[in-house]
Amino acid sequence: MGAKDKILIKSSTGNLHLVRDFVEQKAAELGIDQKIISQIIISVDEACTNVIKHTHKYNDSNDIEVETVFRNNEFAVILRYTGEAFDPTKKETPDMKEYFKKFKVGGLGIPIMKKSMDKIEFKHTKPNKNSLTLIKVI
């Protein structure tokens, strides 16, 4: 048994605040510490931003479903969306010293997700279904 809920948004950066507000509300209902809620919120924001930008290429005729599940002391946020497979867990984390030395821009969403969450799971089902699960142990 666990609290369960979901929202569906159009794939647009203009809707990121809706996702943040939804996740915040769900996590707060469970009495999760504010600092941990902040880590979850930014991770979900970064994950959605990547889907909007890279998978959907800003085409807001696409949708992203965001579901939260709390079970066995794990708070999970599951994103479901269609599009080409891209597994963020396979992406190499940049060397930040090198990053700053070369004044690089971008590519920090996945490192933020990895640092903020305990587990990240990606699943692609042919032809084009994706689910990305961000898990925080509470």
Partner 1 sequence: MDEFTITEKKTDDLVILYLNGFLDAHTSSVLEKKFEELLSKKLYKVIINFAGLSYISSAGLGVFMAYIETLRSNSGDIKLSNMSDKIYNIFDMLGFPILFNIVRDESEAVTLFNTNA
Binding site for partner 1 (CB under 8 A): 12-14, 16-17, 20, 35, 38, 41-42, 45-46, 49, 52-53, 96-97, 100, 103-106, 108-109, 111-112, 115-116
Q: Which of 22, 2, 122 is nearest to 73 (CA)?
A: 2
Q: Which of 101, 125, 112, 137 is nearest to 44 (CA)?
A: 112
- Closest to partner 1 by CB, 97 vs 126, is 97
Alpha-carbon distance 113 to 31, whole Å? 22
- Closest to partner 1 by CB, 16 vs 138, is 16
- As beta bridge partners, residue 69 has 4, 76
In the complex, the smallest distance separating the C-beta of residue 88 from partner 1, rounded to whole angstroms, is: 13
- Closest to partner 1 by CB, 38 vs 128, is 38
